[in-house]
Amino acid sequence: MNIFAKTGMIAAAALAAGCCCKPLSTGCANAPLSVAAEPFGVTKYGEKATKYVITGRGGLILVATDFGGRLLKCLAPDRHGKLADVTLGWNSVKEYEELGFSMGTLIGRYGNRIRDGKFTLDGKTYQLPLNETKPAPRHCNLHSGPRGWDAHVWKAKPFRDDAAGTAGLELSYVSKDGESGFPGTVEIKVVYTVFPDNVWRVDYEAATDKPTVLNPTHHSYWNLAGEASGDVLGQRLKIFADRYTQTDAGLIPTKDAPVKGTGFDFTESREIGAAAKWMASQKELAAMDNWYDHNFVLRGGNGRMKQAAEMYDPKSGRVLEIWTTEPCMQMYGAQNMSESLPSKTPGKPLCKFAGVALETQHYPDSPNRPDFPSTVLRPGQKFRSTTEYRFKAR
């Protein structure tokens, strides 16, 4: 039996059993460091996908696929060391293709919305596909259109470093000039690394042969009580931002505003659902179903590693800290999910507010807003960005 097959069986057993390891401050004491691979399916474009099970020494287990870089599962220990899958998702390529919600995927070339799917760069105007046009007056390019980077199978290279105690997956993709309407051929590399202290780090690096715009992000949904366990309204969230970005009815940014005195004030840890009455009373939030689909402007600006958020589930004790070099983070509260959606657990559907997406990023619609930090990438420049997901328990 080869090492991939053997470690895959070990990880699969842990997934099935909700493996309980000896508690440590950072996770489990006896988890074997491993990376295993197995087929995941075939996309509607005929590309074969593979999934990779990455087991860290602290007990954290990630299951990721080269199909759009999706995070399929994330098993994190609670205060007793017991593992649960804390990210939303599905069990097949077909479900990811048909059910949407950008579930667990890498987003690119441009995450979030661009007004009218149009921008001008160096005097030339580029028209992108319009894939969000309902309900009116939405009229934009969202997450790069109907076939962004999430709809492609990336080149994958698993790795394990026993000396450092790390394991992970290197993903690379060449986005050709004109793909989804964007200029320039972009070579992108994204590295997922699992560290012994239960940190999942995502490193982005890209270069282009023509001026272009670039704003990659990761679109995982989190429920620290476990996927398909119900809504996250009682879980607590802190966002390290004093301002958020207001939008028009088309969900396009208008201006930044203070969070103080609003339902967007997460400067102190509070339940995600604590401001439900305030949100419901705001007529201007009707286009967002009176819930969260907004950009938060993080303290510390662009390029410096700083904390973006802390999510906490009091029942399990699980904590997720998000740290990033990006200037902003989008919060989407899964208000459009419903019990018509399956989960990864047979017989347990998802529901409204089943998770929360916390997407580190630059501002939405930056190519049309010179007052926002630039997302322009030019030949000879290197785009670099890092986001860390730090799992703890208390």
CATH code (residue 249): 2.70.98.10
Number of structural domains found in the chain: 1
Q: Is residue 183 part of a domain?
A: no
Edge-to-edge strand ranges of the sheet holding 253-258: 221-222, 356-361, 328-332, 293-298, 241-247, 253-258
State both tokens at 310. Answer: 């802390």
* Domain carrying residue 229: 225-382+389-393
Element (H, E) at 42: strand 34-42
How many helices (H) and strands (E) the chain has is answered by 3, 28
Q: Decide if 74 is inside a domain.
A: no
Map residue 366 onto helix, strand or coil: helix
Q: pTM score > 0.95 for this model?
A: no
CA distance 149 to 342: 24
SS3 323: strand
Q: Cβ distance 295 to 243 under 8 Å?
A: no
Tell me, yes or no, whether 104 lies in a domain.
Answer: no
Instruction: Report if residue 102 sits inside a domain.
Output: no
pLDDT per residue, tens digit, the chain (394 aa), is 333 344 444 444 444 444 444 433 344 556 789 999 999 999 999 999 999 999 999 999 999 999 999 999 999 999 999 999 999 999 999 999 999 999 999 999 999 999 999 999 999 999 999 999 999 999 999 999 999 999 999 999 999 999 999 999 999 999 999 999 999 999 999 999 999 999 999 999 999 999 999 999 999 999 999 999 999 999 999 999 999 999 999 999 999 999 999 999 999 999 999 999 999 999 999 999 999 999 999 999 899 999 999 999 999 999 999 999 999 999 999 999 999 999 999 999 999 999 999 999 999 999 999 999 999 999 999 999 999 999 999 9
Cβ neighbours of 30 (radius 10 Å): 11
Which residues, in sequence order, are bridge partners of residue 175?
A: 186
Active site residues: 219, 359
Cα 322 from Cα 220, distance rounded (Å): 12
Q: Which helix (H) or strand (E) holds 16?
A: helix 3-17
Inside any domain, residue 201: no
Instruction: Tell how strand 236-239 and strand 118-121 pair up.
Output: unpaired
